[in-house]
Structure formats: structure tokens, C-alpha cells
Amino acid sequence: MKILVCISNVPDTTSKINFTGDNKEFDKNGVQFVINPWDEYALTRAIELKEAKGGSVTVLNVGEADAEPNIRKALAIGADDAIRVNAHPKDAFFVAQQIAAVAKENNYDMILMGKESIDYNGFQVHNMVGEMLGIPSVTPAFKLDMVDDSTARLEREIEGGKEVVEVKLPFVASAQQPMSEPRIPNMRGIMTARTKPLAVREPVGAEAKAEYVGFSKPEKKGGVKMIDAENAGELIKLLRNEAKVL
Amino acid sequence: MSVLVFVEGLNGEIKKSSLEAASYGSQVAQQLGTTATAVAIGEVHEEALAKLGEQGITKVLYDADDRLKQFVADAYVKVIAKAAQQESAKVLVFSNSNIGAAVGSKLAVRLNGSLATNVTTLPNTDGGSFIVTRGVFSGKAFADVNLTSDVKIIAVKKNSFEVSENGGATATVEKLSADLADADFAAAPKETVMQDTDGGILLPEAEIVVSGGRGLKGPENWHLVEDLAKALGAATACSKPVSDLDWRPHHEHVGQTGITVSPNLYIAIGISGAIQHLAGVNSSKVIVVINKDPEAPFFKAADYGIVGDAFDVVPKLIEAARALDK
């Protein structure tokens, strides 16, 4: 089974978010980048399936050279090879076009990724890729198993419940907890990752359709108002009369 | 040219998040000097459809094909694309739900449109632009995005817009058929399992959320969370450790890798407020934190706080909440 896992390189959850250049660009200064946590669920599940059924796992990143340490980390966790499309990921449509272009040249049985990235929170790319390739996209899935060699069974979350879906290969799915338990690379993985192939290719000509023109930060909260535990009931009154949320 | 809003139904009624999307859509229509049409799919009462007039919708297109009762992305996309073509819609509005965002993404490809999800403002259309603001960096920032294509698709963040109530107005309801083929249902779900909410409120739709953490010591104490939620008309939620320990089901887990909520009121009981948890709740309008540790980081993000033992404090809150006149 040939699996493609798409990963994005995102600021660590604990990062302070700041912008530069008149609030037009994200300030990378002092920010630690990680593999998008949602993508890690997809990556580990792909590796588990490969261990059980054989095949290969290729990781794909649409990003600039500074993403390579995290691409190597994905190889250290257990992917076999990697592709980096050398481009700034302008918007979801642009990224989906790059993924679709790579997928069209290789017959992947499944294309997995996280349900969204923790930086742009789009929840778009997986469905766009499915539509571009004309194959089903099952999102967001929290369970993925093979029924037989050509059929997968997924469980996806819907508001207020879940759906069980069976699809023929090939398909696209996005992952969320608890699809798998993300792994930490071991020393042997880190050593072998250094020599695993990482191909760099140029993007296909695709325009962005959503142009990011500026950023802002939420207004700071006014500070916390403490209520004495003895008079806890007072809180309910404040929520009704002062905050007006009850 | 009109604005087209996709509305989702649940048990014959229209979901609150779709009423918000309808209100948003008719405001955009007003801005653009046109009208707003809704497209509904699946199991919704016709009365509920006509009532969309109260949100400013003038016409509702309804495809009653039985096979559409379950969500099937390809079939839904085909129906909405047909409605968009029929109405010459240049702006399509969805709720930012798992269904709305999925269908919106596919339509962006099919209709060659620009898409913004998680949108929190009406568009700014000065000088021929079409700029909306969307939540990014897990609630830590907003981005302004210019949708440059001819067709603009917007998925509206839940609980970001008031449901407008134009009392008594009704929309005309027309049948729509997209001539769906069996192939459109190839990826139909085998099975749909809805959670038993016990007459309660669905977490993603809730205006008030009461959430519990490890401070509650065990699943046997969850009646404190449930009773307070019931007294306030709230949904219940939990922190990641609690769902990891199987005290509560995963679909209640809010946070970085769980679901994101943005209710009017979020009450956290016995949750310390790790940054991963905050990422899931930080766009809540009012946050209340109850924790026995005065150093709990969550207090920094709170509007109201009580330092105290949940087992003492919560029963007092339940009593006070029950005493409120509704």
C-alpha cells in the first residue's frame, strides 16, 4: 500500500503570536516550529498501516527550506521518503493544487493529513484535494482500518454523532484524535532519517484565491474578577446582571 | 445574482448555526443590494423552512430526496451547485461545521471560487474588495482575507453572529431537484450513530458550556457538572486528560486536538488551563474558572474566578442557578 501523508510546519502551540511589517506578516522570530499536531495523527496511523500490511509512506510538505528539520523528523518517526514542494503556502487552494499535482504522478492508495493546521485553521485542503482528484474525501476521521485490500473503513465525526463510512481505494482522509497515538522518534530512526530521500520540486503554477492582507490580535481581557468561595452563588448573579450571559 | 445560504437540519428543525448563517447571508445580500436564498437538504419541516423569512431569507430551495437524509458530500455538492447556478449566486454562505466547511471546500474547487472558513465579520466591500476576517492561530489572532475570485464562499464561525428575528416574515419554499444518480452516493455512510444527549444540548451549538477537569477526581462526580449544566441550559464538556482517562467520551473533549467551542459562557471546573486547552476555548465570550489552586494558569484567561474546592463551590452554584427565574 502506498500512502501519502501531507504535513505542515507550524508554530508550536505555546508560541507567542506576533506580526511584523505593519501587521502583514507572521513574525517567525524566536518561534519554534513543529509538525502540525493533527498531521501527526495521520502520520502515525499511516506508519501503523504500513507495519501491518506492507507498503510505503511518503511525506509531503508544501513549504520553504526551513520546514526540512520537521520533514526529517517525520522520516525519523518512520516515513520512507519525502517530497518538499518549494513554495510559500499562499492559501489552501494553492496548497491543494500542489498536493494534487504530486498525487497525479504517483498512484497513492490513500492521501492522509490532519483535519486542519493549528496556524491557519482552514479545514479545507483535504476536501479540495479529493475534489481535484475526483476521489472521496472523508473528514474529519478518528478511526481508519482496512476491511480488505481495496476497501477502508473510517469513522468520521459529525456534529452530534459519528458516521461509519466504507470507501474503495484511493481516497483522501483527514485525521483527528484518537486515530493514533503520535510517536517520538527513537535514536535509530533519527540516524536512518538522515539518509532517506528528500526530493525538492518546484510548485506547479497555481494562483492563490484568498489573499491574506493583514492580521490582528484579540482585545486583551480586562482581568479576572475573583469571587469568594463562601459566596459562590454571587457568581450566578454577576453572570446575569453584569456579564449578561444568563 | 443573489446570496445563497446552505442550511442544515436536525430532527426536522434548522440548526442554530444555520440560522446564524442565514442571518449573515441576508445581511451580505443587503450590503450588495440583492436578496438571499437558502438551500436546504434532507429532513427539515416545511414550516421551519418558511420561517427562515425571520432571518431575512426570501426564498428557500428544498431537495427532499430521501437519500439526502444522511450527509453525502458529493450529492450535497451537486444540489448546492445546481441551486447556485439557478440563482446565479456569487456569494455562498455556510456554517463552519464539519458538513458546511467540507461542502464549501469542494464547491470552491468546482465553482472556481475563493473560500474563507472560520469567518467572524461581514465583508468589507470598499473599492471593489471583498475582505472578511477569520480566526487563525487557534484563537490567538485574526486574519483579514481578500476573496479575489468571482464567486466568494464563506463559512461563518459558530456563535459569532446573532440570529436576526424579523418576526412573522416568511420565505417562499420551492422544490429543487438535482437529478442525483446512484454514483453520487458511492461514499454514503454505512451507519450513522447519533449521541444520546438525553434531551441535552449539542456541544458545538451550545451558548453555555460547563466543563470538568481532573479536579473532579473521577467520573462518579460528574453529576456536579451535569447538574450545573442542566440548571443553566448548558452543554457539558471536559479536558483532554479526562477523555484520555475515559472518564468522559472523546466527543466532549475541548482543546487543541479536541473540538473548538466559542460559547457566550464557558465555565471550567477543576481544569488548570494548559495552553492546549485554552486553544479550544479562548474565543468564548465570558470565561469562569473554578479551581482550588490559586496559581492555576487558567485564571489569567478568565473573566470571573473562584478559588475553592469544586465539591464545596459547585453545589452553591447549582442552588443559585436553580433559583434564577428563567
Asked whether residue A227 carries a pLDDT value surpassing 60, the answer given is yes
> Does residue B164 sit in the same domain as residue B215?
no
**Domain count of chain A?**
1
Of B185, B218, B237, which residue sits at a domain end? B185
Of B139, B154, B185, which residue sits at a domain end? B185
Asked whether residue B197 carries a pLDDT value surpassing 80, the answer given is no
CB-based contact B73 A127, cutoff 8 Å: yes
CATH number at residue B221: 3.40.50.1220
Q: What number is the average pLDDT over the span B53-63? A: 96
- Whether A151 is in a domain gets the answer yes
Whether the CB-CB separation of B147 and A208 falls below 8 Å is answered with no
> Does residue B223 sit in the same domain as residue B285?
yes
Alpha carbons within 13 angstroms on the beta-carbon side of residue B293 total 12
Nearest CA in chain A to B149: A209
Average pLDDT, chain B: 93
- Whether A237 is in a domain gets the answer no
Tens of pLDDT, residues A212-223? 999 999 988 888
Q: What number is the average pLDDT over the span A177-183? A: 91
How many Å lie between the alpha carbon of B58 and the closest alpha carbon of chain A? 27
Q: Which residues in chain B have their CB less than 8 angstroms from residue A210's CB?
A: 114-116, 145-148
CATH number at residue A182: 3.40.50.620
Per-residue pLDDT band at B199 (split at 50, 70, 90): low
In the chain, the amino acid numbered A125 is: V
Domain that holds residue B25: 2-185
> Which three-class secondary structure string do you get for A69-119?
HHHHHHHHHCCCEEEEEECCCCCHHHHHHHHHHHHHHCCCCEEEEECCCCC
> Which three-class secondary structure string do you get for B10-74?
ECEEECHHHHHHHHHHHHHHHHHCCCEEEEEECCECHHHHHHHHHHCCCEEEEECCHHHHCCCHH
CB pairs under 8 A between A and B: 248
> Does residue B145 sit in the same domain as residue B248?
no
Q: Give contacts of A 207-236 with B, CB under 8 A.
A: 208-218, 221-222, 224-229, 232-236
> Does residue B142 sit in the same domain as residue B15?
yes
ipTM value of the model?
A: 0.93
* Cell (9 digits) for A49: 498501516
pLDDT (0 to 100) of residue B8: 92
Nearest CA in chain B to A168: B187
Asked whether residue A158 carries a pLDDT value surpassing 90, the answer given is no
- Whether B37 is in a domain gets the answer yes
**Domain count of chain B?**
2
What's B165's DSSP letter? -
Per-residue pLDDT band at B248 (split at 50, 70, 90): very high
- Whether B217 is in a domain gets the answer yes
Q: Give contacts of A 48-87 with B, CB under 8 A.
A: none
Per-residue pLDDT band at A119 (split at 50, 70, 90): very high
pLDDT (0 to 100) of residue B35: 96
Tens of pLDDT, residues A35-79? 999 999 999 999 999 999 999 999 999 999 999 999 999 999 999
> Does residue B241 sit in the same domain as residue B123?
no
Domain that holds residue A172: 2-216
**Beta pairing class for B59-63 and B141-147:** unpaired
pLDDT (0 to 100) of residue B32: 95
- Cis before A170? omega within 30: yes
* Cell (9 digits) for A69: 528539520
In the chain, the amino acid numbered B17 is: S
- Whether A131 is in a domain gets the answer yes
Chain B contact present for A182, CB below 8 A: no
Average pLDDT, chain A: 95
- Whether B192 is in a domain gets the answer no
pLDDT (0 to 100) of residue B198: 58
pLDDT (0 to 100) of residue A207: 86
Q: Is A125 exposed, middle or buried, given 0-12, 13-18 or 19+ CB atoms closer than 10 A?
A: buried
Whether the CB-CB separation of B257 and A37 falls below 8 Å is answered with yes
- Whether B195 is in a domain gets the answer no
CB-based contact A137 B102, cutoff 8 Å: yes
* Alpha-carbon distance values, B148 to A144, A209, B5, B145, B175 (Å): 37, 6, 20, 9, 32
Per-residue pLDDT band at A186 (split at 50, 70, 90): very high
CB-based contact B192 A162, cutoff 8 Å: yes
Q: What residues pair up with A150 in beta bridges, in sequence order?
A: none
Q: Which residues in chain B have their CB less than 8 angstroms from residue A99's CB?
A: none
- Whether A207 is in a domain gets the answer yes
CB-based contact B306 A136, cutoff 8 Å: no
* Cell (9 digits) for B119: 469567518
* Cell (9 digits) for B147: 476573496
Per-residue pLDDT band at B66 (split at 50, 70, 90): confident
Whether the CB-CB separation of B212 and B238 falls below 8 Å is answered with yes
Cα B227–chain centre separation: 24
Asked whether residue B326 carries a pLDDT value surpassing 80, the answer given is no
Q: Give contacts of A 93-152 with B, CB under 8 A.
A: 93, 96, 118-128, 130-132, 136-140, 142
pLDDT (0 to 100) of residue B84: 97
Of B156, B185, B214, which residue sits at a domain end? B185
Q: What number is the average pLDDT over the span B162-187? A: 90
- Whether B190 is in a domain gets the answer no
